[in-house]
Amino acid sequence: MMRGILVAGLLLSAVASAGAQTTLRVGDQKGNSQAVMEAAGVLRDVPYKIEWKEFPAAAPLLEALGAGAIETGLVGDAPFTFAAAANVPVKAIAAIRQSRDGLAVLVPKDSPIRDFEGLRGKKIATGRGSIGHQLILAALESRGWSLTDVQIVFLAPSDAKVAYSQGSVDAWSTWEPYVSQEEVLFQSRRVITAEGITPGIGFQVASPDAIRDKRPELGDFLRRLTAARAWSLTNVNAYAETWGRLMNIPPAVPLNWLSRAKIRIALIDDGVVADEQKTIDLYFRSGLIKQRLNAGDIVDRSFSDAIGKGAGL
């Protein structure tokens, strides 16, 4: 009898030990998921290991996911579309909704350019396939302009920052927290934002292998992330202070960003799918992708319960 109990106990211990050794490899962009989860205190007692990897933009994050170096991560709809069209094995498992004021084309404070029309024939830095690229394409299309009416210079954020600061380009189409950094620290001006032009949606994405093999971990992570984002909506000052300390950036920068962003996690519903289809169609019309994808084929709606629990629904 005692021997049976001992064996059963050893088996339970082995299972618990195996579970404790599970690792979820998470890709993040500067000051996003990890920062808000730490600020909200939702990373305590996680029953698996989270291995964080930070990327300067969505494109290298998606490359890492496609190569199997990470299993989930946060990206914008534009680079997600670009990757899916390139047959990167990726699915959107949750949406990130926020105001679109933080996706913008910036010009230096002393620039004579006052609006997007002033950028005709000028150089705009952004990342190829990024949400900054998406904004430029949508702005051109909304005005009936052609792709040759501006000069797009494709650069990674760090290189774009250098080119912009040195005056090698006239403008920079970028996202948060870069927009707030330039506004607060260097008095850059936004000449156009994504408000009313692009869906401005983001995604928590995952590889099909992770969805199959690490569903419990992904669900738990989404629940915690959703709860953290809900906390941040009513604790903007505390979040901004923690964010500034974690990133070693003056808290005025995140306060500028977060007070207007109102970031929240949303489940994949028909509205999200419709918004993603708009991005797909824009990229297809612009020739940036060669195949017109069906948005419903590149999303996974099966994590709605986890998101609902995190949101307290």
Question: If you average pLDDT over residues 16-21, what whole number do you get?
Answer: 51
**What is the spatial distance between Cα 255 and Cα 241, in angstroms, rounded to a whole number?**
8
Three-state DSSP at 48 gives coil
Residue 20 confidence class, pLDDT cut points 50, 70, 90: low
pLDDT greater at residue 207 or residue 57 = 207
Burial of 242 (0-12, 13-18, 19+ CB in 10 A): buried
Instruction: Report the pLDDT value the prediction gives residue 11, as an integer from 0 to 100.
Output: 36
pLDDT digits (tens, 9 = 90+) for 253-304: 999 999 999 999 999 999 999 999 999 999 999 998 998 999 999 999 999 9
pLDDT at 205 over 80: yes
Domains and CATH numbers, the chain: 22-97+200-311 (3.40.190.10), 104-193 (3.40.190.10)
pLDDT score for 87: 95
Q: Counting every residue, how long is the chain?
A: 313
Q: What letter would DSSP give residue 31?
A: T
As a whole number, mean pLDDT of residues 126-147 equals 95
pLDDT for 30 equals 80
**For residue 5, pLDDT beyond 70:** no
Whole-prediction pTM: 0.86
pLDDT at residue 158, rounded to an integer: 94
**Residue reference for tokens 């679109």:** 100
CA–CA separation, 214 vs 200, rounded Å? 29
Which positions ≥6 away from 3 have C-beta within 8 Å?
none
Residue 201 has pLDDT above 70, yes or no: yes
Amino acid at site 30: K
